[in-house]
Every structure is written in C-alpha cells, then in structure tokens.
Structure 1
C-alpha cells in the first residue's frame, strides 16, 4: 500500500524532514511510560492515605448504630443547638455569602469532616434514599462508591493527553511554563475543597432557614443544585485532572533528571524547580487527607444515589432481572395473539425476591 511508505524514503523524495526524529520518538515513549507509572503511583497513594482517614469514620458508624438502638422519645430542639449548625455558622453570619465562602476555604485545612457532619449527612442520605432501612450501612456503601470512582481516576483520558501536548508546545525559553502551570492543580484543588465544604454549609443553611426548631434528629435534604453545573460528577473530573497534572509535573522532573541531568537547560533554574516539587507534595497531602474524604461523603448529598448502594450480588441480580424483563417483553409481543401471559409460581417467587432486594431504597437508579 502506498500509505505504508517509509518515512525516510518519503523525506528523500519530497525533500522534507520528519516532525520527530527517531531519538525524539524514543524519548517521548519513555516519558509517556514514566508519566503513566507516576500517575498510577500517585493515584494509589492518594487512595491509600485518604482511605485510611475514611476508615476511621467506621467507628462513628458503629457508635451511631448503638445510639439508635437506645434512643428515647424525641424532643423539640432549637435548630441552633445542633452541633452541625453551630460548627458551620459559629461566628459567621448565615446571610453573609462572602464570610461563608471564606469559612469554607479555611475549614478544609482542619477537621474537614467532623462526627456531627458525618452523622447528619448519613441521616440525610438514609431518610432521602433508604427511609425503610434506618440501619443501612452508609460507610460500607460510601467506600464501595469511592473504589468505583477510583477506577476511573487511574485511567488517562484523551483530553488529558491534549493538555500535555499543549503545555509541552508552550515550553518556550524564558516563559518558565512548567513553573506557572504547577500552580494550576493547587488552585483547582483549593477551589474543589472550598466548594465541598460550602456544600455542607448550604445543607446546614437550608435547614436553619426553614426551621427554628426540630423534633428529633436534624435531617438535611440532599440535592444536585448545590454542586457545580448541578452535577456531583464534575468534582470527580476535576480531581482526576488535578492528580494527572501533579503526576505530569513530577514525572517531567524525573524524566529530565535521568535523561539530560540536573544541569541541563531543559531542567530550568533551581528557584523554579524547588517550588514545583514543594507544590507537588502539598497537593498530594492535601488531596489525600482533606479533599478525597470530603469528596467521598459530600458527593453522596446529590439527588440520586449510585449503583454501589446494592451489594455486588444484588447488582448482578438486578442486571439479570432487567435482561429477563426485556426478553419477556419481546416474547410477549410475539405471542400477543395467544392471550394474556400467565406467571407460574416460580416466576412470581422470583419477582418477589427481586422486589424485596430493591425495597431497601425507594428511588430508581439514575441513568
């Protein structure tokens, strides 16, 4: 085929040179490999460190189950007396939007998720999606959902490669491009952490605005309206980009160091190298210990729940049930002339069993 012409033959015939030499292509392949390995390592490290903090919440879950078993009669309580409300608005005016955002920005650096936050958001989730199952294992569901999202974060999408190509092309001498773009993931990470904290503040504000006193426990109302673009998934895409960009910075440093040496002109000056490495470490720690745990619980405060709310065997059963339902629908169309379909005892038993599995939650899964 004429499309399979050798590059160098084509160069000799047309008098042109290839865009990348063989050495450049070889080095590019090495860098891509280093970047992929670094991204996977950083993602796993983030998941391990963040997961360690999330596992500490298991103790809160156990205490909540014990307290629920010994609850007495419900009493009327002023909404301002709830710790969840006090933590968010103590010394901060509820009507001051600027102060609320500033408080959310600072809150992500210390005690980003407290016990009262966990208990209140857990109860809000259960009362919205699983009202018939007050002993629902919220912590186990949250961990399963986070693990499912982690599988998406580890992957590298096409638009991330486009980002890499653009900034490699912008690496012009004197611009210090890699130094300036190292601030981008840090700024995005701070914005994401602030937004997640502000979602909690909005949940508290909605309750305080509608009620002056509440009988029993404080119940928040989850909603997608609290998130950017009305989609909690946007947060996951931003965290994915942040981790990839941070891995890109570190991978580029080690690739240049091992390939060309520290004194290479490509390495840039020391005053521009050290801040990049420090920012990379700060991003890794902040994302692991603050942003990821915030993401794990706050994104459950959306309008819909995730399919991980069902155990794996129930998920498989529901998928099988849906497939059988489609098959029965197609068969019923073919046999419409034969009269109404009658279900035998085994079919009815199967339908009851599937229905019982779905009764733990009352809302349908989103798309």
Structure 2
C-alpha cells in the first residue's frame, strides 16, 4: 500500500502536518497579499477621484472571482469528471494532434513518451474505465492544463487592456496643448459665428485634408485615404479643433470654453470599464476556438486574421467618419461667415450606433490577448516543438500580427475612437463631473418625489397643475450645472451640498 501510495501520491492522512501547514500558509499568504493589493489600489483611485478606473478595478475583481469559482468547480468535480467513461472511437476524432502510429510508439518518440507519462500518471483513472472496456472522457492532466489556460487567458486579457488604455491615454494627453491653446485664445463662439469674417470652406485645413471632390471616384478615394491615414497623423490639430467646435455647438452651445479634452478623457475612462471584462459572448468564442483547434487545420493561425482585419476596418471607419463630416460641409457651402462647424450625427456610424465600435475594440483586444495567451501557454506547458504549437512558418506571422494589433490599437485606434465617438447625436454622462452627476441624480429623485406628492394631492382635489414646475426646476438646475461645469476649471469646482 505504501508503494502504491508513493506512486500515486499519499493522501492527507499520510502527509506530514508541517508540509500541509507550510503549503497552506503560502497559498493563503499569496491570496491575502493580492487581495490587499487590489484593496489599496482601489482606495488610491478613489482618493484621486478616478471613479471609472476604480469601477474597472472592481470589474477585475469580478473576473478573479469568476476564475475562482471555475477553479472550485474543476477541483470539486474533478474526480467525477475523469470517471466519465466513453467508447474508444469517440476519443479518436477531432484531435489537436494526430494519434501516434504503432511504428512511432515502437520508436519511442518524444511525443509518445509524453503520452506514456500521462497514462502512467492517470493509471488509476485509466484502470477504472479500462475495467469497463472504455476510455476516460478527459484525464486529470488535461483538466489541469485547461484550468491553467483559463486563468492565463483572463490575466493576459486584463493586462493587455490596461496597457492599451495607458498608452492610448498617453497619446490622447498629447492633444492637451491644443486645448490649452484654444483656452488661451479665449474666443467666444457666438461672436465668431456672428462676425463678418468669411471663411472659404475649400481653403480650410480641415477640408483640404479630407475633401477629395464630388463623385463616386472621390468616395472610393475617401475610403482609401481613411485606410492609410489611420497609420500616420490619425488626428491632426485641424481635426481636433473642428470636431471640438462641432461638439460644443451641438451639445453645449452656450459654453464655448468647455474643456472638451477633459471630457474626452473621462468618457474614455468610462468606456474602459466595459472593455476590461470578459463578457459571455467572449467565452463562447473561446469554446468555439477550442472546438475548431483540429490537427491540420492551423486554426490558431487563421483565427489571428480576425482581429487584424477588424482592427483595420474599425480604424478606417473612424477616419471615414471625419471625412464624412468634412464632405457634408464642403458640399453645402463655398464660403461661410465665422468658423467652420460640423454636425455630429449617429448616421455616420455602423447601425447608427457609435457604441458598436467599442464592442468591436473589446473583441479585438480579447482576441489578440487570446492568441498571445494560447501561444505562451502551449510553449510553457508542452514545449515549442509541440504538435499543437505548429510549424515555425505559422508561428512567426501570428506573433507579428499580435504585436502589430497591440501597437496600432494603442497609438491609433483607441485615440481615434476617443474623439470620433463624441461625434454622435448625443453626449455621455461624463460631460459632468462626478459630484455634478450625483447632484443631478439627487435633484431628479426630489422632483420625482415631489411630482408623486402633487399627483396624490390632485387626486384628492386639493392640488393644482404644478407638476411641470418641478420638471422645469430640474431643467434649470441641470442647465446651471452644465454651464458651471463648462466654464470653470477643475480647481474651481467644489462638491455641492444641500439643494
């Protein structure tokens, strides 16, 4: 019994207590250290009023909790899963690696020796199913490797998202000097629009950069230009100034000094919460990939082109939105009084939904993280020469595509999305500071309560028609807050108290 126990591993009944205590201490210590690290990171973000990033951190905690639950399920049901026995024919189809032939087995190649070790390690499970003339559905070793892969995938995805947003945010912050320059000029939009200054549309830098004429040929050239422009000077100063003015004239006309750059950063941080998580449809993609990872199909290579093509399509579309805005103005006017103003609209986006672009960026980042995580997991777990890894001619392009996606998404696509996404028909709640949002919610709740009381009073025949007063009061308060938010600097804004 001792011999068998030595081969298959002794249970806790025959394991020295100091070993059990030491291992338990290390595992619990690491877990508590990570938990405290996340806790203090959250406190730091809250102290810096980085609510969107704080909520993104909460999203990471949710993912870790999900991973912990998956780990628990795999551990608890491991013995039951490996005792599910199936016919041998079922286990010989849709394999990632080709089954070794008898000749290969006799030559004792590295692949067969590895399989032999797996069989030796799982002799207990194999014996259980062999007694029934069947094979185990999945071995303990394979289940353990799958467990590790899921964990690695989640960690790599979160890491890649954070890196993308950090580098993309750094690129966006380079535009701050344009905002500062505009603020120093201290111009008044209304005065500019009412002035007698005549702007020749086709001589404007923004139009010259994007308008290529009228006709089908210009439309095709516009798409071609948009495709290449995402790789160089994706956002110029004329783009920023024109899109900024278009946003202000559409959503906050009375606040020409609105800090558009600050709002754009807050909106991007707000969207980051959606990108960092692994949604259910992304897990479905993982399952589909694992199903199609069949020997000879080179699925891991061909699937790398999905995020690559999507990234180019998204970047081209975002640049083309700017081109469409330029075309709208150039085709309607030859000369205008005042500054050039574009008209934001959801009609320029796919399905009239600017948020669909964020969904695609989310998928691109996840797919790229999946590719890189799968590569390194195979490398560490099975070795570079593993049949799952594939041939070098398939590996190198795959890695180059992964690096290309990460760089372009960080320095071009994400900054493009940050500004072009604001060219929709509506603005985001990030237009207000956090404390202003809280104030608006408080006023809305008070108005709702006041409306309900007045409705009850009317029902009893004691009240008049005064419900609209409450709604208009809320509108007045929102207008005041919007103007205050737009015309004050961050240091001048203080949390409001009371009503």
Q: 1:162 to 1:206 in 2, by over 3 A?
A: same
Displacement after TM superposition at 1:195 (Å): 0.4
- For the Cα contact (< 8 Å) 1:133–1:360, is it kept in 2? no
Describe the SS at the equivalent of 1:266. Answer: coil
After TM superposition, list the pairs within 5 Å mapping 1:74-85 onto structure 2. Answer: 74-85=196-207
Residue of structure 2 in register with 1:25 after alignment: 143
Equivalent-residue separation in structure 2 for 1:9 and 1:270 (angstroms): 37
- For the Cα contact (< 8 Å) 2:226–2:317, is it kept in 1? yes
- For the Cα contact (< 8 Å) 2:149–2:374, is it kept in 1? yes
Q: 1:360 to 1:125 in 2, by over 3 A?
A: farther
Residue of structure 2 in register with 1:93 after alignment: 213
1:166 partnered with 2:260 = no
1:149 partnered with 2:259 = no
Query: How many residues in Structure 1 have an aligned counterpart in Structure 2?
Result: 353
Residue of structure 2 in register with 1:103 after alignment: 225
Q: 1:332 to 1:193 in 2, by over 3 A?
A: same
- For the Cα contact (< 8 Å) 1:94–1:100, is it kept in 2? no
- For the Cα contact (< 8 Å) 1:129–1:361, is it kept in 2? no
Residue of structure 1 in register with 2:156 after alignment: 38
Q: Which has the higher contact order (CA 8 A, sep 6+)?
A: 1
TM-score by length of 1: 0.89
After TM superposition, list the pairs within 5 Å mapping 1:115-126 onto structure 2. Answer: 115-126=237-248
Structure 1: 5+ residue runs without aligned partners? 363-367
Residues 174-232 of structure 1: CA distance to partner in whole angstroms, max 9, x if unpaired? 11111011111011000000000000000000000111101111000000000000000
Displacement after TM superposition at 1:353 (Å): 4.3
Describe the SS at the equivalent of 1:252. Answer: helix
Residue of structure 1 in register with 2:380 after alignment: 258
Q: 1:246 to 1:192 in 2, by over 3 A?
A: same
Structure 2: 5+ residue runs without aligned partners? 1-76, 86-127, 487-499
Residue of structure 2 in register with 1:49 after alignment: 167
Equivalent-residue separation in structure 2 for 1:42 and 1:86 (angstroms): 37
Root-mean-square deviation over aligned CA pairs: 2.6
1:291 partnered with 2:409 = no
| 1:357 paired residue among 455, 478, 481 | 481
Q: 1:318 to 1:19 in 2, by over 3 A?
A: farther
| 1:305 paired residue among 418, 421, 427 | 427
Displacement after TM superposition at 1:300 (Å): 0.3
TM-score by length of 2: 0.66
Q: Which stretch shows the higher mean deviation, 143-152 or 328-337?
A: 328-337
- For the Cα contact (< 8 Å) 1:182–1:246, is it kept in 2? yes
Q: 1:105 to 1:6 in 2, by over 3 A?
A: closer
Residue of structure 2 in register with 1:365 after alignment: none
